[in-house]
Amino acid sequence: MSDNFVEDAKAEISGMAKEGMHHPSTKPVLTGAAVGAVAGWLLPVVSLPAGLILGAGIMFYKRLRP
């Protein structure tokens, strides 16, 4: 991967959009979104949508920068 995070993210999102569930990053990012949503539902300081977005974002970042 290159050192440019934005270019890497654009390429990864494009690949996920084109390949759908067959892309290697799709399932981990969706799993992160689900875990974040559950955490948002259980924790009073985080709302469900915020948890979903944060969980997906964290997993997406971990896929780009392991």
For the segment 42-64, the average pLDDT, to the nearest whole number, is 92
In the structure encoding, which two tokens stand for residue 36, read together? 């974040």
DSSP the chain: --S-HHHHHHHHHHHHHHHGGGSTTHHHHHHHHHHHHHHHHH-TTS-HHHHHHHHHHHHHHHHH--
- The domains of the chain are located at 5-17+25-64
Q: What is the pLDDT of residue 2?
A: 54
Q: What is the pLDDT of residue 39?
A: 92
Query: Which tens digit of pLDDT belongs to each residue from 9-37?
Result: 999 999 999 999 999 999 999 999 999 99
